[in-house]
Amino acid sequence: MSFSIAGKTAIVTGAANGIGLAIGRQFAEKGANVMFADMDEARLIDELGERAEDSNVRYFAGDLRERLTITNLISATLDAFDQIDILVNGARQMIPSDPLDPDDDSVNVLLSQNLMPALRLSQMVAKRMIKQASTREDDSGAGAGAIINLSSIAARRTHPDLLAYSVSSAALDQMTRSLAVALAPHRIRVNAVAIGSVMSASLKSTLKENRGFRQDIEDHTPLARIASPSELTDTVQFLASEAAGFMTGQILTLDGGRTLLDPVAAPAH
């Protein structure tokens, strides 16, 4: 089975920097048409301005919390490439929470930013994928599309200060499973990648500010290192390709084994 995504069209959100940008770039290098979507237009222009006229690269700036923005993103992608085959919901935000403050609104904030745009965009893209499949003269059983959500191991292993991020990640995981079942009859696969520590731009910045943090991560990771962005992008490409044609509703964990560890240093059992 092929890992190729050449000739496919993908929308990647959260694509102005870090992991989303790395995924979009790899997809483009592998021959896919890619719409890089993000709220930060200045960063998109800075990262992609010179490539924006390439035949397989475009960018779109807008706030995906707005329904009209999602509609415009889909329209811009279809105008550029005529179809949508892959959606990567990569836009995520992490903010601290106070779990004991009833006035703390961080859960609502992150559900509105990390969950709802991914849900609405997935629903609208799925409608397009279904329409595309209905017009094809192809009874080979090939998939009609693939949706990949970027989640986090925070859905299972949390810290009180990350209450909102953990809740939004867990909700995204359940959304993945639910949409996988709903869209399976239409041959659209929906999977997620639960990420541990990946050397993104934001993590690099954090490590510079706190040099002991790297050692802490490595000490709590069985493979004793931080993942490179390419290890994540390869996983996402696999899920987008026909190599994963019989996989749906799965949450693949990319964390170097971190979620396997007992958080109690000296267990009493």
pLDDT digits (tens, 9 = 90+) for 110-162: 999 999 999 999 999 999 999 999 987 655 557 899 999 999 999 998 788 99
- The H or E element that residue 159 is part of is none
pLDDT over 90 at 204, yes or no? no
* CATH 3.10.105.10 fits domain 9-135+142-256: no
CB 37 within 8 A of CB 13: yes
pLDDT digits (tens, 9 = 90+) for 89-110: 999 898 889 999 999 999 999 9
Candidates 85, 93, 87; CA nearest to 143 is: 85
Tell me, what's the pLDDT at 197?
85
- Which pTM does this prediction carry? 0.93
Tell me, what's the pLDDT at 205?
77
| Calpha distance 173→65 (Å, rounded) | 19
Type of residue at 178: S
Output the six-digit token pair for 105.
């609104």
What count of residues does the chain have?
269
Q: What's the first-to-final CA gap in the chain, in angstroms?
A: 46
Burial of 117 (0-12, 13-18, 19+ CB in 10 A): buried
Q: Which residues pair with 34 in a beta bridge?
A: 10, 57
Residues 6+ apart with CB under 8 A from 223: 256, 257
Per-residue burial over 78-98, b if 16 or more Cβ lie within 10 Å, else e, is eebbeebbbbbbbbbebeebe
Give the start-to-end residue ranges of the domains of the chain. Answer: 9-135+142-256
pLDDT-based confidence at residue 53 (cuts at 50, 70, 90): low
| Calpha distance 176→118 (Å, rounded) | 10
Give the 3-state secondary structure of residue 191.
strand
